[in-house]
Amino acid sequence: MLTLIADKKIKRNFCHGILLQVIKLLDNKPDNLTLEEDAIERLRSHIKSTQWILELAVDELPCYLLMDEYWKMVNLLIWRFSSLIDQNIIENVIEYLNILLTQDKYVAIVPGRDICLANATSLYFIILNKYGNNDEIQKLIYTTLPHKIYEVVLATLNYLLILYNELDIEDKFQEHLSLLRNQNILETLKKDPKYTSELSQALKSAKYSECKQKCLKVLSLEDDTQKYIIEANLNNREVTDEVIFSELIHLVENEHEKFTHIYLYSLTSFLIKKLRESDANQKCILEAVRVIFACSSSDNSDSTRGVVVSFLERHFKILINKEFHDLTEEEKFEMKATLLATLVSLLEDDEESLRQRCGGVVTDVTSPTLGPAVGSMCAELVLAHVCGSSPGPQLLAALALLDFRCQVCLSDQSDDECRVFDQNEKYNVFLEETIWTVACADHIKQIYKGSNICERILEMLNDPLYKQTFDKLCGSNVESFRNVLNGLESNVINPKVDLFVRELRR
What pLDDT is stored for residue 488 in this prediction? 73
How many domains does the structure of the chain reveal?
Answer: 1
Going by pLDDT thresholds of 50, 70 and 90, the confidence category of residue 506 is: confident
Q: Residue 239 falls within a domain, yes or no? A: yes
> pLDDT digits over 59-108, tens only?
878 888 999 999 999 999 999 998 999 999 999 999 999 999 988 777 66
Average pLDDT over all residues of the chain: 88
Q: C-alpha distances in angstroms, 437 versus 267, 470, 474?
A: 32, 15, 12
The one-letter amino acid at 200: S
In this prediction, residues 350-371 reach a mean pLDDT of 87
Q: Answer whether 291's CB lies under 8 Å from 249's CB.
A: yes
Q: Residue 233 falls within a domain, yes or no? A: yes
Q: Residue 103 falls within a domain, yes or no? A: no
What pLDDT is stored for residue 107 in this prediction? 64
> pLDDT digits over 412-470, tens only?
444 444 444 444 445 555 567 888 999 999 999 999 887 789 999 999 999 999 999 99
Q: Residue 84 falls within a domain, yes or no? A: no
Q: Answer whether 321's CB lies under 8 Å from 335's CB.
A: no
Going by pLDDT thresholds of 50, 70 and 90, the confidence category of residue 273 is: very high
Going by pLDDT thresholds of 50, 70 and 90, the confidence category of residue 289 is: very high
Give the integer Cα–Cα distance in Å for 338 and 358.
Answer: 15
Closest to 391 (Cα-Cα) out of 473, 335, 327 = 335
Q: Answer whether 451's CB lies under 8 Å from 465's CB.
A: no
In this prediction, residues 222-226 reach a mean pLDDT of 91
Query: Which 8-state DSSP code applies to residue 134?
Result: H
Closest to 438 (Cα-Cα) out of 394, 497, 481, 486 = 497
Q: Residue 302 falls within a domain, yes or no? A: yes
Q: C-alpha distances in angstroms, 402 versus 97, 375, 389?
A: 59, 18, 18
Confidence check: pLDDT of 248 > 50:
yes
Going by pLDDT thresholds of 50, 70 and 90, the confidence category of residue 406 is: low
Give the integer Cα–Cα distance in Å for 472 and 481.
Answer: 15
Give the integer Cα–Cα distance in Å for 347 and 343.
Answer: 6
76 burial level (CB within 10 Å; 0-12, 13-18, 19+): buried
**DSSP codes of every residue in 184-228:** HHHHHHHT-HHHHHHHHHHHHH--SHHHHHHHHHHHHTSTT-HHH
Give the integer Cα–Cα distance in Å for 402 and 478.
Answer: 9
H or E stretch covering 335: helix 329-347
- Phi/psi for 218 (5° steps) reads -65, -45
Q: Which residues contact 242 (CB under 8 A, 6 or more apart)?
A: 281, 284
Going by pLDDT thresholds of 50, 70 and 90, the confidence category of residue 489 is: low
Q: Residue 283 falls within a domain, yes or no? A: yes
Q: Kindly report the length of the chain.
A: 506
Range of the domain at 250: 226-347
Q: Residue 11 falls within a domain, yes or no? A: no
Q: Residue 231 falls within a domain, yes or no? A: yes
Top pLDDT among 372 and 26 is at 26
